[in-house]
Structure formats: C-alpha cells, structure tokens
C-alpha cells in the first residue's frame, strides 16, 4: 500500500477523485483516501474509449474485497484513453493511485469546470471534516 | 443484537499485534484480514496459514447412548465413526430444512465432540439438549473450553509437527497430543481444500500456540481468505449456500445423508432424493469480466432461473466464481447462463466441483 499523499499539482473532486489537467486534456483517478477506504481492490472494468463523461456523474465502478464503489468524473469530456492494465492488475489502484493507477484520459468539453474543483488545501480540509 | 457487546476470542490481543482488520461476525469481533485477503489466500495455497476460528462452537455428547442421540440428530451414519474418526453431516428439521452443517469427532467410546457454526451454536445446543432426554446421554456446551485454530496449507502439517510431541492424525482422523506444551485435540480437517489440521486448544494456551505457529512460519489469515478459499473448492457456507429453507438434496449434500438411520428429517430427505428438487446448488465461473455476489440473479434467455448464494473473485483462478441455486435441469456442468451483476449481464458457465484443484505433487 502506498503512503498517504495528495499531490499539489492535482485538482480534487469531493467524491475523492483527482484530475491532472494539461490544457484541454486531463487524466482522472481516485485519491489515496478513496483507495484506502475501499481496501483491497479486486475488480475494475474500464469504460469505453470514445464515450462521454459528465462532471459529478459515475463513469466506472471499482470493487474491493468489501465494497463496490462508483467512480465519479471530476470534469466533462470524451474519453481518449483508458488504463487497461488495471483490469488485469486491480491492486495497482492501491499501490500507486496517482501514477500507474490512473483510470482514464479525457478531452475536456468544458475546461472552465476546472475552477469548480478543489485544490489540495481545500481537499485536505474536506478530509479533516469527513 | 444491536446493543450486545461483541465477543472476543482468546486470541484478540494476537490479532491486534498482527495488524488485523476486525469486523463483527455472528456476534464475534473477528479478523477479516491482516496483510490482505489475496496475499493470505495465496499463502494458504502455497505455504501455511493459520486462522482463528474460535467463534465456532463445540458440543460434547456423552453417555451410554451418545451414539443413539447423534444418530437421531445427524444426517450421516454416526455408527461408522470409530474412536479417533471424524464425520461431516447436517442437522435437519423434521421437514428436511437444514439447521446447520457440522463436523463430529469421536473422542472415545460414548464420547463425541461436534463443531458448530458460530451463528447457529446456541440453537444447535438447544436442539441437542431438547432431544437428549429421549436417550441415555448428556450434552454439554464446550464453546468456552476451547480455542480453535485452523492451520492449513501444504506446509501446515510440517509446521504443526515441529511443535507436537506425537504423530499428527491423518486426514479425517483426530487425536489428542501435546502441541507447544498444551494438550490439544488435533483434527485432520479443514475448510480450505488444502492439507492441514485444526487444533482445539485449551483457551488459556491458545495465545502461546498461535505465537509458536507464527514463529514457525505460519501466516495469520482472516475470514476473508477463509471465504475465498472455501468457495474455490465449493465448500458450503451455512446461511449463504444452505439454510432452513433448503434441504440437503437440493444443496448437493445428499452424500452425507443416510436416511436408513432414521434421523430427524430423514423421511423428507428420502422424498426429496426420490422425487428430485426444483432447484440444485451448482458452482459456476464467469467466462468474462466481473464478480458475482450473493443475491445476483441467474438468467437464461431473459428468464430468471436461479440465485447466487456465494460469489467472489477467485485469487487462484483470477475469474469471478460462485455457487447458485438454479433450476435442477440446468445444474449440469457446461450449461451457459448469465449472472445479473448490478444490472450488467455477465456470461457464466456451470462447472463441476471443485472449481480449484490442488496441483498434483509427488510429495
């Protein structure tokens, strides 16, 4: 299991998802808190490339030994790429939630939505209140 | 139940020390995992794991007609168990509904020990006591007398043998020997599909035995791995794969029912055996992605044809596996069905038992 970390360069969604925004594209994943709350991840099925994701809506499910959880999209757009490796080795989500554990890469349809996401300080504050 | 304090086994401190995640289970605070379910599962398949199963109960039946009482209660032919023997059976109601599944060990002439499931122990004991009056036999609740450790895996016997002052019993045999200095009832049984033993240790000695097993190389394993291990080899879990509403025939447990003994429920079981049952319990694997879970519907041609009673991701087979009650004629290996997993239809195939087979070794 990875150490608890929340990188400074990411933006966060209150449902414990992160976005790494690079111009009009972004990579999404789940936070350290999310994978820790889930426990040992045993199943993840990537969405289809080309499908649309909408901010605040679920786009995938992740299943651990104890629970099934929706993964929420922090931003809206079209999926450009999915991380197939996680389907074969779901424990990557526990081991490296911000690196090899990325879930999808998205072409953003409304880049201004980024302003609605939390920065690391605001997300940490939210975790303290959980 | 909501306000009742959870019971703790004599190994509670050991679990805390080993970093266990503890969860409520059948009124007990039990370790669900330590390092992780998958790692513990694989340790049992390749080396040795030790489980605290002290939440399981024990009932001692003794007296001149102990055999008569057990023959009336248990579905199997208890007269076939010699001293030092072990036998699996179910406990039925008069209508054949399953009250529990049990292992019974014959300790001596006129002295037997029956191991119960935690959630059923009190009900089982009352059932035993209620019927004991008709026989020259007594029953005593032995749950507080023992801690129970299941030591399982290809290296389990070697590890226990290193602590034992005598020869370990063979499979399905039991004997009392000194293990780590404590008089221990050692049983050649388990719930994982691996070789190994179960140890009934006096409660006060259990912590020392646990520590010695860990020091000798056994890995602590929790209820999470116990469940995935038993499901890979299609061992039933009471409350999931059978209950009072199921009879042993539909549960696939007809092999441990000997109706000629006249046990309570034998007429209903004989009728079910002769007439057949509407449904049968069958193991299955998903042929694609997904994890089946308890309560998922089994579907064929858009018709619901059954219900999943146990499901998991198999750490050894690396596919979703489970057991389901399905329409009897579908309960044949090779039948293609679908499992409705939260609205997604997942293709599945009925298989034969066990789903996982231990690799043959020349050891």
* Same-domain status, B234 and B333: no
Give the end of a domain, one of B255, B277, B299.
B277
Band the pLDDT of B221: cuts 50, 70, 90: very high
User: CA B101 to CA B256: how far, in whole Å?
Assistant: 10
Give me the domains of chain A, ranges plus CATH numbers: 11-129 (2.40.50.100)
User: CA B132 to CA B61: how far, in whole Å?
Assistant: 9
The answer to whether B22 faces chain A, any CB pair under 8 Å, is no
* Same-domain status, B150 and B232: yes
CA distance B232 to chain A (A): 15
Query: What total number of domains does chain B contain?
Result: 2
- Chain A residues in contact with B36 (beta carbon < 8 A): 40
Torsion angle, alpha carbons of B43, A62, A101, B34, to 10: -30
Q: What is the mean pLDDT of residues B144-169?
A: 97
* Same-domain status, B216 and B343: no
CA distance A40 to chain B (A): 7
The answer to whether B37 faces chain A, any CB pair under 8 Å, is yes
> What's the pLDDT at B361?
46
Q: Identify whether the C-beta of residue A101 lies closer than 8 Å to the C-beta of residue A86.
A: yes
> What's the pLDDT at B292?
97
- Chain A, nearest residue to B227 by Cα: A65
Contact B291 A42 (CB under 8 A): yes
Band the pLDDT of B352: cuts 50, 70, 90: very high
The answer to whether B186 faces chain A, any CB pair under 8 Å, is no
| Chain segment B236-266, per-residue pLDDT in tens | 999 999 999 999 999 999 999 999 999 999 9
φ/ψ (deg, to 5) at B24: -75, 135
User: CA B257 to CA B75: how far, in whole Å?
Assistant: 5
> What's the pLDDT at A3?
86
Its sign, for the CA torsion B105, B106, B108, B110, is: positive
Q: Report the run of H or E that residue B208 belongs to, with start and end.
A: helix B206-215
Contact A87 B289 (CB under 8 A): yes
- Chain B residues in contact with A45 (beta carbon < 8 A): 289-290
> What's the pLDDT at A124?
97
* Same-domain status, B143 and B90: yes
* Same-domain status, B185 and B294: no
* Same-domain status, B253 and B302: no
User: CA A66 to CA A79: how far, in whole Å?
Assistant: 28
φ/ψ (deg, to 5) at A43: -155, 135
Domain of B304: which CATH number? 2.40.30.110
Containing structural domain, residue B83: 1-277
B19, B23, B34, B36: best to mutate for the A interface, most A CBs within 10 A: B36
B319: in domain: yes
In degrees, to the nearest 5, what angle opens at C-alpha B355 toward C-alphas B105 and B333?
A: 115
> What's the pLDDT at B363?
38
B355: in domain: no
Q: Identify whether the C-beta of residue B7 lies closer than 8 Å to the C-beta of residue B24.
A: no
The answer to whether B289 faces chain A, any CB pair under 8 Å, is yes
Give the end of a domain, one of B222, B253, B277.
B277
The answer to whether B313 faces chain A, any CB pair under 8 Å, is yes
B363: in domain: no
Q: Identify whether the C-beta of residue B186 lies closer than 8 Å to the C-beta of residue B134.
A: no
Task: Identify which of B21, B289, B313 has the shortest CB distance to residue A45.
Answer: B289
User: CA B283 to CA B260: how far, in whole Å?
Assistant: 29
Burial class (CB in 10 A: 0-12, 13-18, 19+), B296: buried
Task: Identify which of A40, A43, A61 has the shortest CB distance to residue B37.
Answer: A40
B84: in domain: yes
Print pLDDT tens along chain A (130 aa).
678 999 999 999 999 999 999 999 999 999 999 999 999 999 999 999 999 999 999 999 999 998 899 999 999 999 999 999 999 999 999 999 999 999 999 999 999 999 999 999 999 999 998 7
Which of helix, strand or coil describes residue B215?
helix
Contact A63 B291 (CB under 8 A): yes
| Chain segment B82-118, per-residue pLDDT in tens | 999 999 999 999 999 999 999 999 999 999 999 999 9
- Chain A residues in contact with B290 (beta carbon < 8 A): 43, 45
Q: Identify whether the C-beta of residue B220 lies closer than 8 Å to the C-beta of residue B9.
A: no
* Same-domain status, B172 and B271: yes
Domain of B58: which CATH number? 3.30.1360.120
Task: Identify which of B38, B290, B342 has the shortest CB distance to residue A40.
Answer: B38
Contact A43 B37 (CB under 8 A): no
* Same-domain status, B46 and B144: yes
B163: in domain: yes
B358: in domain: no
> Which positions 19-78 of A are in contact with B (Cβ < 8 Å)?
39-40, 42-43, 45, 61, 63, 65-66, 68
- Chain B, nearest residue to A66 by Cα: B224
> What's the pLDDT at A1?
65
Band the pLDDT of B3: cuts 50, 70, 90: low
CA distance A3 to chain B (A): 15
Q: Identify whether the C-beta of residue B106 lies closer than 8 Å to the C-beta of residue B178.
A: no
Max CA separation in chain B (angstroms): 61
Helices (H), chain A: 32-38, 85-88, 92-95, 120-129
* Same-domain status, B243 and B125: yes
Question: Mean pLDDT score of chain B, rounded to an integer?
Answer: 96
Task: Identify which of A39, A43, A91 has the shortest CB distance to residue B291.
Answer: A43
Q: Identify whether the C-beta of residue A33 lies closer than 8 Å to the C-beta of residue A123.
A: no
* Same-domain status, B253 and B296: no
Buried b or exposed e, range A82-92, using 16+ CB within 10 angstroms: bbeebeeebbb
Task: Identify which of A40, A45, A61 has the shortest CB distance to residue B36.
Answer: A40
**DSSP E strands, B203-356:** 219-220, 279-286, 297-300, 303-313, 320-327, 336-341, 344-350
Give the end of a domain, one of B259, B277, B295.
B277
* Same-domain status, B194 and B306: no
B356: in domain: no
Task: Identify which of A43, A65, A87 has the shortest CB distance to residue B224.
Answer: A65
> What's the pLDDT at B58?
97
φ/ψ (deg, to 5) at B269: -65, -40
> What's the pLDDT at B22?
95
| Chain segment B34-62, per-residue pLDDT in tens | 999 999 999 999 999 999 999 999 999 99
Contact B224 A42 (CB under 8 A): no
A42, A58, A64, A66: best to mutate for the B interface, most B CBs within 10 A: A42
Its sign, for the CA torsion B246, B250, B252, B255, is: positive
B283: in domain: yes
> Which positions 2-21 of B are in contact with A (Cβ < 8 Å)?
21
Q: Kindly tell me if the per-residue pLDDT of B192 is higher than 80.
A: yes
> What's the pLDDT at A96?
96
* Same-domain status, B299 and B207: no
Q: Kindly tell me if the per-residue pLDDT of B204 is higher than 80.
A: yes
How many alpha carbons fall within 13 Å on the CB side of residue B156?
33
Burial class (CB in 10 A: 0-12, 13-18, 19+), A68: middle
């Amino acid at each position: 299991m990875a150490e608890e970390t929340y990188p400074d360069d990411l933006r966060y969604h209150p449902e414990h998802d992160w976005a790494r925004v690079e111009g009009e594209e972004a990579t999404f994943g789940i936070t350290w808190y999310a994978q820790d709350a889930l426990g040992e991840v045993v199943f993840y099925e990537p969405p289809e490339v080309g499908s649309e994701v909408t901010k605040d809506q679920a786009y995938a499910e992740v299943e651990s030994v104890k629970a099934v959880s929706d993964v929420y999209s922090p931003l809206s757009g079209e999926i450009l790429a999915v991380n197939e490796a996680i389907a074969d080795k779901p424990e990557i989500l526990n081991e490296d939630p911000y690196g090899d554990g990325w879930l999808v890469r998205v072409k953003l349809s409304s880049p201004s939505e980024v302003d609605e996401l939390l920065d690391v300080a605001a997300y940490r504050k939210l975790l303290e209140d959980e | 139940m909501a306000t009742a304090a959870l019971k703790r086994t004599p190994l509670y401190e050991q679990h805390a020390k080993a970093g266990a995640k503890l969860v409520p289970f059948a009124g007990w605070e039990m370790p669900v995992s330590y390092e992780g379910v998958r790692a513990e599962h694989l340790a049992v398949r390749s080396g040795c794991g030790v489980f605290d199963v002290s939440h399981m109960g024990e009932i001692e039946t003794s007296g001149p007609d102990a055999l008569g009482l057990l023959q009336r209660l248990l579905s199997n032919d208890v007269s076939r168990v010699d001293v030092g023997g072990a036998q699996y059976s179910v406990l039925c109601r008069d209508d054949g509904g399953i009250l529990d599944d049990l292992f019974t060990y014959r300790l001596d002439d006129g002295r037997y020990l029956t191991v119960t499931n935690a959630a059923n122990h009190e009900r089982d004991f009352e059932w035993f006591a209620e019927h004991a009056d008709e026989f020259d036999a007594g029953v005593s609740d032995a749950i507080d007398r023992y801690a129970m450790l299941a030591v399982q895996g290809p290296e389990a016997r070697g590890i226990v043998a290193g602590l034992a002052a005598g020869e370990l019993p063979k499979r399905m045999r039991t004997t009392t020997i000194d293990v780590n200095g404590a008089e221990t009832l050692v049983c050649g049984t388990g719930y994982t599909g691996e070789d190994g033993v179960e140890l009934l240790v006096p409660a006060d000695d259990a912590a020392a035995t646990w520590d010695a097993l860990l020091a000798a190389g056994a890995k602590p394993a929790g209820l999470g791995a116990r469940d995935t291990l038993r499901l890979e080899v299609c061992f039933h879990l009471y409350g999931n794969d059978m209950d009072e509403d199921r009879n042993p025939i539909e549960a696939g447990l007809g092999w441990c029912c000997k109706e000629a003994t006249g046990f309570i429920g034998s007429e209903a079981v004989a009728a079910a055996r002769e007439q057949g049952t509407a449904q049968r319990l069958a193991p299955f694997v998903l042929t694609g992605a997904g994890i089946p879970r308890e309560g998922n519907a089994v579907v064929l041609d858009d018709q619901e044809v059954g219900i999943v009673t146990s499901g998991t991701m198999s750490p050894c087979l690396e596919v979703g596996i489970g057991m389901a009650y399905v329409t009897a004629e579908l309960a044949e290996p090779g039948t293609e069905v679908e499992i409705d997993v939260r609205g997604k239809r997942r293709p599945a195939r009925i298989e034969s038992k066990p789903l996982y087979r231990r690799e043959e070794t020349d050891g």
